[in-house]
Amino acid sequence: MPESSPDPRAVAAAVTAAPQPMFWSIRRELWESRSLYIAPLAVAAVILIGFIVSMIGLPERRRAVLLLDLVHQRAAIEKPYDIAAVLIMATAFIVAVFYCLDALHGERRDRSILFWKSLPVSDLTTVLSKASIPLVVLPLVAFATTIVMQLIMLLMMNAVLLRSGVSATTFTQLPLAQHSLILLYGLIVFALWHAPVYGWLLLVSGWARRSAFLWAVLPPIAIAMAEKIAFNTWYFGSMLKYRLGGGFEEAFSGSPHPGVPPTVALEQLEPLRFLTSSGLWIGLAFAAVFLAAAVRQRRSREPI
């Protein structure tokens, strides 16, 4: 009897049931590292509590703000929202640093690397899934947390102003769509700019037997100090400073309103200058080298 042709529905089911190593590796990181989303939520809760306390006397302060010109009005109204966004972004960066330091070191310390290596998941997939947490997952968590937090702040502020009889002009003076775009742009910028930092931390995490934080921090500091002592120059230290904070200078232009409290407007975004900056691409090249070294290193590393 000739063999019958395969049922299309069975073929489709087999394709659907195909394993997705990268997807499940990322899910594993979220299961094992709950601080990735608990820490931003906890900081957001603290910010909201502080914001509620700050609303004491809000109507009087808003009446004083409405007497200012439009530029200063906007800066004063947007200030608490900008501060909240910066705090969430800083929290996401700190969580990313400590996650990277423990990502490969932790599985060697608790000997779970023996179990994970027994699964049909390559070292490349494992390292890339861990690198995707600070580069993709944490920025998305920070973005969603900040948007929800700012919306709650907006609703509470307008409710207080309406009850006190003050015109609640925050809805019209606070462009949420522009704020969301600026926030998303900033998160993408800092994720790409700090990619070599995360790559270096993952490399140290997979190499160090103990005190991964010290091994990650002390060598760059020692190199900078040795250069200063030997040559009385500070090139390496300046490079480290540029890598940590230079992304803002490359991605944003100066304030269009000098003398106004600092805030970021849509016209300050410079995506073309950022994408064409040599610092970005040199950093990404180093990040690729660090990740490749981490992949190669994981193939031969044993439990601590």
pLDDT digits (tens, 9 = 90+) for 22-79: 888 888 888 888 889 999 999 999 999 998 888 887 767 777 766 666 677 677 777 8
Q: Which residue has the tokens 């995490």?
A: 205
Q: Which residue has the tokens 């690198």?
A: 131
Structural domain for 125, as ranges:
20-300
Q: Using CA atoms, how far apart are residues 265 and 146, in angstroms rounded to an integer? A: 17
Q: Closest Cα to residue 279, out of 248, 233, 234?
A: 248
Q: Using CA atoms, how far apart are residues 12 and 16, in angstroms rounded to an integer? A: 6
Please report, for residues 174, 287, 297, the alpha-carbon distance to residue 292 in angstroms, rounded to integers and kept in the order given. 44, 9, 9
Q: Which pLDDT belongs to residue 7?
A: 55
- Using the Cα atoms of residue 123, residue 124, residue 128 and residue 131 in order, give the sign of their dihedral: positive
pTM: 0.85
Q: Which pLDDT belongs to residue 11?
A: 44
CB 202 within 8 A of CB 212: no
Q: Which pLDDT belongs to residue 106?
A: 85
Question: How many structural domains does the chain have?
Answer: 1
Q: Is residue 6 situated within a structural domain?
A: no
Mean pLDDT value of segment 110-133: 87
Q: Is residue 254 situated within a structural domain?
A: yes
Q: Residue 9: which pLDDT band, with cuts at 50, 70 and 90?
A: low
Q: What is the pLDDT of residues 172-184, one digit of tens each?
A: 456 677 888 989 9
Name residues whose C-beta falls within 8 Å of residue 138's C-beta, 6 or more positions apart in sequence.
36, 92, 95, 96, 99, 191
Comparing 28 with 200, the larger pLDDT belongs to 200
Q: Is residue 86 situated within a structural domain?
A: yes
Q: Residue 138: which pLDDT band, with cuts at 50, 70 and 90?
A: very high
Q: Is residue 207 situated within a structural domain?
A: yes
Q: Is residue 14 situated within a structural domain?
A: no
User: In one letter, which amino acid is 178?
Assistant: Q
Q: Is residue 183 situated within a structural domain?
A: yes
Q: Is residue 294 situated within a structural domain?
A: yes
Q: Using CA atoms, how far apart are residues 206 and 291, in angstroms rounded to an integer? A: 10
CA geometry: angle at 23 spanning 18 and 25, to 5°?
110
Q: Is residue 12 situated within a structural domain?
A: no
